[in-house]
Amino acid sequence: MKALKEIVSWIVPIVIGLLVALLIKDFVFQLVRVDGPSMQPNLENNERVLVYKQSQIRRGSVVVFDAHGVDPQAVAKTDYVKRVIGKPGDTVSANNGNLYVNDKKVNQDYISSSERSTGTGNWTMASISQANRWQKNMGATKVPKGEYFVLGDHRSVSNDGRYWGFVPKKKILGVVKVPFWDTNKTKRNNVNKQWNEFFE
């Protein structure tokens, strides 16, 4: 009986700890790894960042979402990291490397002029939906209700909303935060706080 009590005294704290860890992962935050160059220079390939699941999604927020069923080429359990540019009801367009949301110019100081303009062209949502043959929302002029328009920071290499359309809110896992221990303050601000200065 004494041995059983001793075993239980070890097992119960371990089980409680595992349950707390699972609850935190499912409802509060989790650590994720960035895969690929599409968010350079602000997030690097293989960099680990925190994803907060209860944070408000704003224009300029960097988010992680389940790309399966969003990007036709994404297989199951594929997560993408991108920046929210358009919220439900917004119009988004590009002209000479400048981005416009609801006809207001977006502040893109967080990326270089080549990253915002090389290979991106001039477009509206309706024109890119037709040029890239979106499977859903072909010809859309506004971001649909309950969905978001996202772009990678390194526009010339990013596979993002320009090519496949919008991200449903239910697919978004959470908002990315570069942790405080990352010593690059500029990069932290470009990811964590850029939404404060979204428009010029």
The rounded distance, in Å, linking the Cα atoms of 200 and 120 is 20
Of the residues 82, 87, 171, 177, only one is catalytic, namely 82
To the query of whether residue 87 is one of the catalytic residues in this protein, the response is: no
To the query of whether residue 38 is one of the catalytic residues in this protein, the response is: yes
Give the tens place of pLDDT for each residue, 185-200.
898 999 999 999 999 8
Give the tens place of pLDDT for each residue, 6-15.
665 566 555 4
Of the residues 5, 9, 38, 158, only one is catalytic, namely 38
192 near 56, Cβ under 8 Å?
no
Domains of the chain, by residue range, sit at 2-184
pTM of the model: 0.86
Give, in order, the Cα–Cα distances in Å from 189 to each of 38, 178, 192: 18, 8, 5
Residue 98, Cα to own-chain centre: how many angstroms? 20
Nearest by Cα to 34 from 158, 198, 130, 163: 158
Give the tens place of pLDDT for each residue, 20-51.
444 444 445 688 888 889 999 999 998 888 89
CATH superfamily of 2-184: Umud Fragment, subunit A (2.10.109.10)
